[in-house]
Copies of this chain bind each other. A is one copy, B any other.
Amino acid sequence: MTITFRGVIPPVLTPLDESGGFDERAFERLIERLVARGVHGLFVLGSSGEVAFLSDGERARVLASAVRIAAGRVPVMAGVNDSTPARVIDQVKLAEAAGVDAIVATAPFYARPSAAETEAHFRLIAAATELPVFAYDVPVRVHSKLDPAMLVRLGLDGVIAGVKDSSGDDVAFRRLVMANRAAGSPLVVFTGHEVVVDGALLAGADGVVPGLGNVDPARYVELYDAAVEGDWARAKELQDEIAELFEIVFQASGVSGEAAGLGAFKSALAHLGVIASNRMSQPVPSLDGDTVARIAEIVDRSKPLV
């Protein structure tokens, strides 16, 4: 049986309790709500899942928990976050042991690879697993951009099954979508950007991996459905509503992107009663006071389905 990867696949947050430990009950409520609202898959241990901050032991717990809760209702994709192939492959083993359906790997980081080394990196990872491999293009974190032509080549060679594009480079994204189609669509292509999903789907994207989808999964699913039906005016209207909600990530000041963005998602979900705490992984501070109040106000105005 082949699993289909497309549609709305949120990068699931990792809720923490007040002492900073993984809050599995909150994680369960979060995932149950996502599934109930119709998402097409779950991406755990992505950047939004604070993967870079979790120890291997914590990662293993999160993966096992996600697979248990999903229970085959939707596929589970797992981030295998580390700097180079040997270390990534150790993460792949963790993910395989947990029983996930696919893995998601970035280009090397800390290391400074040539384009050829990045390509070899993905080939080494894929050779080490039977699971479908997705390439995660995130230059703001790894400081190199994946070349569209390389991605299509890796797709044609059966090395990767798809791409999550968080590059913020909409021209390269369009070129990737078109090159993939011209090659017979070996790849499924996702955008990772919350507020340009209507345009990305119009351009031919197969789906979206939106961090904000943790907060408002129903609207993303509705947007995706409108796009599938070709109702672009409705898709744009929903995207605008979502973009208004996205303003929650711009409320904090003087803190890192992690604190502002992921902290806003967690604060919104705590406000909605889905998770218990907006606590972030050390050394990232949790949002508080006025910032949380402003976020709650935006959420209330936006009215996501709980």
Contact = CB atoms under 8 A, between A and B. Distances in A.
Interface in A60-99: 81, 83-87, 90
A66 B236 CA distance: 38
Nearest to A203: B199
A169 to B, nearest CB: 6
A140 interface: yes
Interface in A226-252: 230, 232-233, 235-236, 239-240, 243-244
Contacts of A114: 254-256, 259
A298 interface: no
Tell me how many chains of this kind the complex includes. Answer: 4
Contact of A198 (B55, B90, B178, B199): B199
A128 to B, nearest CB: 11
A55 B56 CA distance: 13
A174 interface: yes
A272 interface: no
B198 A171 contact: no
A8 to B, nearest CB: 18
Looking at A83, A178, A281, the one whose CB has the most chain B CB atoms below 10 A away is A83
- Which of A87, A121, A193 is the most central at the interface, judged by chain B CB atoms within 10 Å of its CB? A87
Nearest to A200: B199
A303 interface: no
A233 B233 contact: no
A116 B84 CA distance: 28
Given A58-B86, A171-B193, A236 B283 contact: no
> Which of A141, A254, A283 gathers the greatest number of chain B CB atoms within 10 Å?
A283
A152 B117 CA distance: 33
Contacts of A141: 110-112
A306 interface: no
Contact of A117 (B55, B84, B118, B256): B256
A19 to B, nearest CB: 13
A111 B52 CA distance: 7
21 contacts: A53-B85, A54-B87, A56-B90, A84-B282, A86-B281, A111-B256, A111-B258, A112-B141, A113-B258, A117-B256, A117-B285, A124-B283, A170-B196, A171-B196, A174-B243, A178-B243, A199-B199, A199-B203, A202-B202, A204-B236, A232-B233
Given A55-B90, A168-B168, A202-B235, 20 more contacts: A52-B111, A53-B86, A53-B111, A54-B87, A55-B87, A84-B282, A108-B283, A109-B109, A114-B254, A117-B258, A117-B284, A120-B282, A168-B170, A168-B171, A170-B193, A170-B199, A178-B243, A199-B199, A202-B236, A232-B232
Interface of A: 47, 52-56, 58, 81, 83-87, 90, 108-114, 116-118, 120-121, 124, 140-143, 168-171, 174-175, 178, 193-196, 198-200, 202-204, 230, 232-233, 235-236, 239-240, 243-244, 254-259, 281-285
